Amino acid sequence: LKNLEATLQRLEEYGLRVRKDKCKFFQPSVEYLGHIIDAAGLHQAAAKVKAIVEAPPPRNVSQLRSFLGLLNYYGKFISQSATLLKPLHELLGQNKTWKWTEACNVAFHKAKDALLNSEVLTHFDPSLPLQLACDASPYGVGAVVSHIMPLGEERPIAFASRTLSKAETNYAQIEREALGIVFGIQKFHQYLFGRKFTLLTDHRPL
């Protein structure tokens, strides 16, 4: 009830009104903008995931953009999605001739599998320890911000990644790993700013 009271007070504070007949209280879960929110955390809505998983291989750039748009909406659930999707993003290059290769097909199906097997994202809790794990590949950088739960297990809050620019692909591995750390801290600034957190990297020199 405390959370409900706080929410209603915030609405009143900002002069917002809600229709009583449109409100539901004491629900075990709520679907909102393609996500299911419950006590365990944030899940993808099954209907949205089904549309992605059942999508046929794209036949042109327009269809590929539509598929990637749907997939990117759930990017926070997928680890290292930028590296995983590299063959598909390459098809979007300017003056690029459309050619659906075996590498594209593998990436297409791996992306679907990654979405199906993704973890539930835990709710952010300011009372729990934070951990930021960063990584880099020859093609992209990625990060995951997680909570360390009371029994010691890690629970992801969100994943993020991006592809490397042409100049960044020429970086030495230690520079790419450092770039991954900068990317992770900037991407998850709202969770990390002003708080102590553990930074993880698998690159020993760093």
Give residue-wise pLDDT tens across range 12-51. 999 999 998 888 888 899 898 899 999 999 999 988 899 9
Fold for the domain defined by 130-201: Ubiquitin-like (UB roll) (3.10.20)
pLDDT at 202: 79
Q: For the packed helices 61-73 and 102-116, what is the interaxial angle rounded to 10 degrees?
A: 30
Q: Looking at the predicted structure, is the pLDDT value of residue 57 above 90? A: yes
pLDDT band at 2 (very low <50, low <70, confident <90, very high): confident
Q: Looking at the predicted structure, is the pLDDT value of residue 123 above 80? A: yes
**CA–CA distances in Å: residue 192 to residues 34, 46, 129, 184:** 26, 31, 11, 10
pLDDT at 108: 96
Mean pLDDT of 46-73: 93
pLDDT at 144: 96
Q: 10-42: b or e for each residue (b if 16 or more CB lie within 10 Å)?
A: eeeeeeeeeeeeeeeeeeeeeeeeebbbeeebb
Where are the domains positioned within the chain? 130-201
Q: Looking at the predicted structure, is the pLDDT value of residue 204 above 80? A: no
